[in-house]
Structure 1
Amino acid sequence: MEVQKIFKRRKQNEAWNVTIFSHTHVSANSSKFASAANLVKTLRGPKYDGTFLHSIVKEKLGDTWLHQTLTNILIPTFDIKRLQPTIFSTYNVKNNPSTDALLSDICIGTSAAPTYLPAHYFETKDPSGKVRDFNLIDGGVAANNPTLVAISEVSKAINREGPDSYRMNPMEYGRFLVLSLGTRTAKSEEKYDAEEAAKWGLLRWLTSDHSTPLVDVFTQASADMVDFHISTVFQALNSEENYLRIQDDTLTGTLSSVDVATKENLENLVKVGEELLKKPVSRVNLATGVFEPINKMTNKEALRKLAKLLSREKHLREAKSAVGN
């Protein structure tokens, strides 16, 4: 799924260094026998048991709880028992302490993509001793592009704490600075068509050529609708530069897969990300859904500009806070 990323900025030799992900990989077996075995396994249960992923997540996050994060975050999940989205948000944890869970549990839950990984169960206990259970699957089911959820959470925080705290009103979207980072899309590959899909039954919708068409359709539709909506809002408010969406919609083959974690593929994805920084800032064409360049500024330059704006805003708030005290 697509999460609004949390970045640690470090300045070294006047260059921004961003660590995208670690090279934790698994070996690949592409034999026909392995493919057949994977198909049978997928029909009987999740493609992966999640053991390795869970161990890595717990190792990296340890005993860190939601309320202990260094900055405000939100992580969408979907509770299959309640059949509704569950948003874990540092903005809301004080008002709803039952959502204060271990980050490892939240991350395991939000990564539990249907057919790929098992649903995740855990419990929390609020200060009064009341226990709440969570039965979670991939947050992408509810918000594959969580940008709109993030904007809503900030608006609620402004409304709750008062406009003076943020020097703006809750619905003043034109003054929001939004960075939305996609995790890839395979639109240009055009993997499916009506002629082929017309012959599919339940099995083919769930597994076709090393992918899951049903999941691909739902998650891509969800992400695109959010991008369309936010692009329209910022254009209407004449604040297009305040919304930066960085996405690569040209990936094909193994690069566009969701679960090929070989060392070679991870290294190739890093190269894709580095090349994406050199490409011009693009915006989705609301008629075609294709990303098109809007100016000569590169994504790297746009990120620097956004970072400067955020830094300036931080200094203004700190100065105001110092005067208030």
Structure 2
Amino acid sequence: MQNSVGVSVYDLHKGCPSVLKSMYHERFKRDPNLPLFKAALSTSSAPTYFDPYSSEDYEDLDGTSIEFKYKVDGGVWANNPSLIALVEAQKAFNKELQEINLLSIGTGQSVFLENKRTKGFGIFYWILNNKKRIIELFMQGQSQQAENLISLLKNGIDKQEPDNFGYLRLNTIFENEVDSIQMDETNQIKLKDLEVRAMNAYKRNKGEILRMLNIC
């Protein structure tokens, strides 16, 4: 059985977001011949951490040559890709909203707060002094808005509607900057803490996860 895979990237060569897709719909003929490791390298190329990923051209299923240049992390436009998955399930698999169970797994989220500072929000604050606050703010804002829209679709305004579909978000929140995990984190204590947080999140939600996956 073929797995259905969608990988979000941003194409700097064309200046647009993109989702690399396996052939889970008869019209998806562009990407099935693209090796999965190249898709992974593309979506892992986070700006300021790695250079954009480029590779040699490949052929789509019709034999047309496809350029594959300057791909970066899809997190720049879909840090929480839950909405993409929801739309794909409806349009590519012809599923009604009520038929969908969506399991979303996060990688940890820092709480970005700045409610005491009144000035000094220049370039030094946002991107210098060994900080990447502007990136953290963009990423967090995207993820939070995806959560808001999922909630609106799931339970309506002010959560007044019964569940319209199954949805579970697994994530851990870092309440302060000291505890937060960077994308290039090497501190073994922090990495172990992240592992413990992930296991605790799984244990708390194990029953619901198994139910959504129709394992129990």
**TM-score with structure 2 setting the length:** 0.83
Match of 1:261 in 2: 186
Deviations 1:228-251 (A, max 9, x none): 111111113521671111221235
**Identity rate of aligned residues, in percent?**
22
Distance verdict in 2 for CA 1:201–1:92, change over 3 Å: farther
Match of 2:172 in 1: 248
Distance verdict in 2 for CA 1:94–1:104, change over 3 Å: farther
Q: CA deviation at 1:158?
A: 2.9
Kindly provide the amino acid, as one letter, of the partner of residue 117 in structure 2. E
Q: Which moved more, 1:198-207 or 1:83-92?
A: 198-207
Distance verdict in 2 for CA 1:183–1:240, change over 3 Å: farther
Distance 1:200 1:223 in 2: 23
* Residue 180 of structure 1 pairs with residue 100 of structure 2: no
Deviations 1:59-95 (A, max 9, x none): xxxxxxxxxx942121111111222111012255752
* Residue 142 of structure 1 pairs with residue 77 of structure 2: yes
Distance 1:102 1:146 in 2: 21
* Residue 132 of structure 1 pairs with residue 66 of structure 2: yes
Match of 1:16 in 2: none
Distance 2:186 2:65 in 1: 37
Find the partner of 2:205 among 275, 296, 299.
Answer: 299
Distance 1:150 1:241 in 2: 13
Match of 1:80 in 2: 12
Match of 1:226 in 2: 146
* Residue 277 of structure 1 pairs with residue 183 of structure 2: no
Distance verdict in 2 for CA 1:97–1:103, change over 3 Å: same
Match of 1:195 in 2: 117
Deviations 1:102-158 (A, max 9, x none): 111111111111111111112222244432223211110121111110111111223
Kindly provide the amino acid, as one letter, of the partner of residue 215 in structure 1. I
Distance 2:47 2:200 in 1: 31
Q: How many corresponding residue pairs?
A: 208
Q: Where is the helix percentage greater, Structure 1 or Structure 2?
A: 1
Distance 1:144 1:239 in 2: 24
Deviations 1:14-67 (A, max 9, x none): xxxxxxxxxxxxxxxxxxxxxxxxxxxxxxxxxxxxxxxxxxxxxxxxxxxxxx
Distance 2:116 2:6 in 1: 37
Bigger CA radius of gyration? 1
Q: CA deviation at 1:277?
A: 3.1
Q: Where is the strand percentage greater, Structure 1 or Structure 2?
A: 2
| Root-mean-square deviation over aligned CA pairs | 2.5
Match of 1:54 in 2: none
* Residue 110 of structure 1 pairs with residue 43 of structure 2: yes
Q: CA deviation at 1:225?
A: 0.9
